[in-house]
Amino acid sequence: MRIECRRLGVADANAYQSLRIEGFHLEPRAFRYAPEDESGVTLAAVEMRLRRDHVVGACAGDELIGIGGLACETGVKTGHKALLYGMYVRRAHRGAGVADAIMRELVDAARSRVEIVTLTVVSQNDRARRFYERWGFRAYGVEERAIKLAEDAYLDEILMALRVKF
């Protein structure tokens, strides 16, 4: 089946939020958010996110199978940066280039708007870290105990950045 990547709009809000919740539920150690966090976000807030941010979806026919977002900073001193967030591809479609297609769209969008793209990745998520490194992201720090899973159970996050303009 042919995979198409495109920027998501407000008409995609339900499918986008459902896929985020699925990712948070199926991959609890890969994200800093829990399904309950996203379930509490109103549809109006999701629509606002889709208007404000550059959110890309990968579709196989009518099915949304992968997502990723780019949120640009707006401050005078930070407007040259963007945060890449929420990358998720359904398991059945991993290894087929879907994540690369999403990343290509996000990096292309970033190049026309900012100089630096940042992200965080759970330190134990080796597959994601290697993916980001392959795209040129470099680690610049670690936030220890960034995510609290349960009593006395924490995950660290690696802070990464990619310069898209020199």
> Can you give the pLDDT at residue 54?
98
Residue-averaged pLDDT of the chain: 96
CATH code of the domain covering residue 47 = 3.40.630.30
Q: Rounded CA gap, 151 and 141, in Å?
A: 25
Structural domain boundaries, residue 114:
3-163
Give per-residue pLDDT as tens, 85-121.
999 999 999 999 999 999 999 999 999 999 999 999 9
Helix, strand, coil content of the chain in percent (nearest 5): 35, 35, 30
Question: Residue 148: what pLDDT?
Answer: 94
Count of domains observed in the chain: 1
pLDDT of residue 78 exceeding 90: yes
Would you say residue 146 has pLDDT above 80? yes
Q: What percent of the chain has pLDDT over 90?
A: 96
Check: CB of residue 54 under 8 Å from CB of residue 109.
yes
